[in-house]
Amino acid sequence: MREGFDVIPFVIGGVIGVVLSLITVYFIKRKGEREKRYDERYIVMQYQSRSLAWGVTALTLVVVFAVLYIVEGFSLATFLVLATYIIHLAVQWLYYQKLKSRG
């Protein structure tokens, strides 16, 4: 650990951040349900935007991996980006298999 880094405020700040995020998500979801925001059109739009986001994330990870590998060689940062990309692909594949099994 670095000198002067206090773990207690770091953990407290993380917990407060997670709690505030959950509270915000709860109220946004509740408001959306009251406004009937989760109809078929909304679901299709969410699916398309999620697909685009996954594609952009995959492309970004590949570019960052290539730049890191060229600049630093195979280091911890390169390994972490590669691991993130592999997890990304695994989640995508597992979700596809789940949807495919539904029929």
pLDDT digits (tens, 9 = 90+) for 62-76: 888 888 888 888 888
CB 65 within 8 A of CB 82: yes
Prediction pTM value: 0.47
Q: Sort 64 into a burial class: Cβ within 10 Å, 0-12 / 13-18 / 19+.
A: middle
Separation between Cα atoms, residue 42 and residue 29, nearest integer Å = 13
Most confident of the following: 15-24, 29-38, 80-89: 15-24
Separation between Cα atoms, residue 99 and residue 97, nearest integer Å = 5
